Structure 1
């Protein structure tokens, strides 16, 4: 997935919420990455920008559909 363009499909308040959403995508066989600005995990409380869930651009529509219909996915943080 590294050689493919990535887009943010959701932004969450915590890494736990992002990991839950990532597991939903994994079950649907959609690769994803989590990006958090938290000093490399040293300062999780410093993540003022939220935790981004990224997928390949060509998987974005399907990922959005999967996340929107999953009861296990928390509501994303609305900026």
Structure 2
């Protein structure tokens, strides 16, 4: 799915891991993630997350530019 959108697998894996870790630690909430429940193993959230990055929608827009950019956008650090 990732390659169909022309995205880099490794970069998406890093961004997703960062976001899921932030969500798990309470740094990100559903308000920050456009309602996505970024819990490990949540396949529907992963698919929605990838689509948001690919189409630069909401939470996915700054994440398409990487973790550092998203950190500066939300003003929080891991």
**How high is the TM-score relative to the length of structure 1?**
0.30
Structure scoring higher RCO (CA < 8 A, sep ≥ 6) equals 1
Higher helix share: 2
